[in-house]
Amino acid sequence: MYIEMKKTGLDVSDLIALVQRRGGGNTGFPYKSFVCRCSNCLYSTKGKCALKECCCMDERIRAHTCTFGEMMRYCFSGIGDNVFHFCLRIAIEREAELKSCFLDAGHRKRFYEGLAYTRKASNNLIAQIFLLSAYESLWVEAKKVLERNCVVYSALEISIKGIDVNPHNLFTTAIDLEYGSAHSDLLDLSDDEVVDFDVFRMICYAVAISAYGLDAIRVSEKQRAKKYKHKRKGERTNE
């Protein structure tokens, strides 16, 4: 599946349809993580891959042996829009700089709060919680209508009238994830004059999460864990 630019640009529903098709059919992960390292791949020689696209990226994502950037490039490789890929590269660099896919520490805390309330949440619901918890103003209302296995959007839509444009854009994207609809009016995600960059990267991250669930989060959190491991090691050295 390959998406070419349309007259109206690249909208959210296109993005969701493409990426969820990649991550579909997950029936569990039967391998040990070391099996999915590039050093054990027949196509890899001296750290260089002979393939244009990794043939076992799905497995590497679930084993958490890839980087967040590799995962994102793989998810959106079928999009034929150079401007989108330029914005995506910046979004990947921002994640690497922050060592987190979350907007800030508050976003991370709110996300895990919502996740703890749900039971065996689907990948789609995890992605929706990721979007709805990005901004405090949206989360205050969203958690009131968060059920064990869904979000009651009919009630949430009434309670968030007058909310700022960025939280509202994430709200409409969450609806699209839930219903496979096209409620979002973001007709061109690659247009930075229309779409705030933080909204762009949160949407891209969430779409990847909708395909791979918590594995996508853990790929990012792996870098965060390394950051704090080195920090604690440095503190012990100074003592």
pLDDT recorded at residue 184:
65
Please check whether residue 2 lies inside any domain of the structure: no
Using DSSP, state whether 148 is helix, strand or coil: coil
Please check whether residue 239 lies inside any domain of the structure: no
DSSP 5: P
DSSP 29: -
pLDDT recorded at residue 186:
57
Please check whether residue 237 lies inside any domain of the structure: no
pLDDT at 9 over 70: no
CA distance 215 to 236: 31
Neighbours of 193 (CB within 10 A): 6
Please check whether residue 77 lies inside any domain of the structure: yes
Q: How many domains does the chain have?
A: 1
Taking the whole predicted model, whether its pTM rises above 0.85 is answered as no
Please check whether residue 198 lies inside any domain of the structure: yes
In sequence order, the β-bridge partners of residue 48 are 45
Please check whether residue 188 lies inside any domain of the structure: yes
pLDDT recorded at residue 104:
95
DSSP 144: G
Mean pLDDT of 16-26: 69
* Full residue range of the structural domain in which residue 215 is found: 9-231
Residues 6 or more apart in contact with residue 97 via CB below 8 angstroms:
none
pLDDT recorded at residue 2:
46
Neighbours of 64 (CB within 10 A): 17
pLDDT recorded at residue 5:
45
Please check whether residue 53 lies inside any domain of the structure: yes
Neighbours of 176 (CB within 10 A): 24
CA distance 2 to 177: 20
Please check whether residue 3 lies inside any domain of the structure: no
pLDDT at 167 over 70: yes
